[in-house]
Amino acid sequence: MSYFDAASAAPLHPVARQALLASLDEGWADPARLYREGRKARILLDAAREAVAEAVGCRADEVVFTSSGTRAVHTGVAGALAGRRRVGRHLIVSAVEHSSVLHSAEAFEAAGGAVSTVAVDRAGAVDPSAYAAALRPDTALACLQSANHEVGTVQPVGEVAEVCRAAGVPLLVDAAQSLGWGPVEGDWSLLTASAHKWGGPSGVGLLVVRKGVRFAAQRPVDERESGRASGFENLPAIVAAAASLRAVRAEAAQEAVRLRELTERIRTRVPQLVPDVEVVGDAERRLPGIVTFSCLYVDGEALLHELDREGFSVSSGSSCTSSTLTPSHVLKAMGVLSEGNVRVSLPPGVAAEDVERFLDVLPGTVAGVREKLGAPSPATVVRAAELVVDSLGKRCPIPVIELAKVIGDVPVGGTVRVLSDDEAARLDIPAWCEMRGQEYVGEEPAERGTAYVVRRVS
């Protein structure tokens, strides 16, 4: 089995396993106690904190260990907003943040706060000037991920941090995807991360709060972790997380070169091997191991199941793989195709032979899924100046497939109106037009669902 979903959780690094087993014997006592066993535990905890601080590029007393990366985000956002509540009740986030940040924003807004969402370009990157434009006198906090978890695009954190610093607004950076590759650039104020993203054990998050940043913890506090993360520390997991972070950093420069070559191979060859594919995300400013592409006329869940049968573990942002049946908020914000979406995120040490086998298997797998769904053939016959396609009650990619089948049945200049009540159609039909060189006229209200109007131009 080839595991290609490291962006969700990286395999446990061998150093993490060794450190975890060793610290189970040495680090089981309460590090807050003064007797011998407690002192041993405290030494391990302090050493882990120092190692993490060195990797992050901060002071050891600025590092807090939490129970997860999500908990670190929720604690960091809530604490920073509360610490600056006298300044105002305004929060800025990007449209492609991890769900943990967006959920924090939703909770803040529900409690009476104001939230501004900064849009991204088609590659998934923010424009620093957009953050500058969003800043207000009452802005308490801004948030920006260091790199996107779905498409791998690296954000201009340094430039955004400079804009925020000039305005006196702290910037919280979600560094979950990038910290294993190197420190985060720029003069940020708060940082969060999660150990299972770099090969550490699950259940360990990092929250870094720079000295001078106003912060007020919003949960019941105790003497642990500077009062910012209550409860007994999971010391063995923390030690393993710190040890693995140091280990992956030592290997990062060399491994990044290798993974970039492999992902570039996928980015280049997939469109050559599979027709009607859109590779998404920034081609240059991206993480080494992530490449994402979307396939027209493909059900994402069916494609993932077929790839799993072939021995490949990949993930997807397609609406059909989601319990909400709505497209990935990241793909939606980028305005790219969401149907048939595949995210390949290669773990360190992956064999080049596995990537080649994936490229060998993919074309036939996609073709098989398309055939089952009745994807269109190129033959067309002109019949009417306007056609209506009733796709109500059908999930994408079926509405797009039905559009593709009939677009040739209208003359150049003619229109096709696709009736659909699937939210994904709002993204996938315009994306299809972009890929196929047709004109997306827009959407109109319908008795049921929405009418998406497409004009044939070629």
Tokens, residue 442: 């827009």
In this structure, are residues 84 and 90 in contact, taking their beta carbons and an 8 Å threshold? Answer: no
The secondary structure element, H or E, covering residue 265 is helix 235-273
In this structure, are residues 13 and 244 in contact, taking their beta carbons and an 8 Å threshold? Answer: yes
Answer yes or no: 320 catalytic.
Answer: yes
Whose tokens are 């913890």? That residue is 217
- Tell me the HSE value of 261 on the side-chain side, using a 13 A CA sphere: 10
Q: What is the 3-state secondary structure (H, E, C) of 307-329?
A: HHHCCEECECCCHHHCCCCCCCH
Distance CA 24, CA 38 (A): 13
Closest CA to 52 of 222, 246, 202: 246
Phi, psi (degrees; rounded to nearest 5) at 403: -65, -45
Distance of CA 434 to the CA centre of its chain: 24
One-letter amino acid at 318 equals S
CB within 8 A of 17, min separation 6: which ones? 240
Distance CA 341, CA 356 (A): 20
- Cβ burial of 185 (10 Å; 0-12, 13-18, 19+) is middle
Phi, psi (degrees; rounded to nearest 5) at 339: -70, 145
Distance CA 98, CA 95 (A): 9
CB within 8 A of 35, min separation 6: which ones? 29
From 164, 320, 396, 433, the catalytic residue: 320
Q: Catalytic residue positions? A: 320
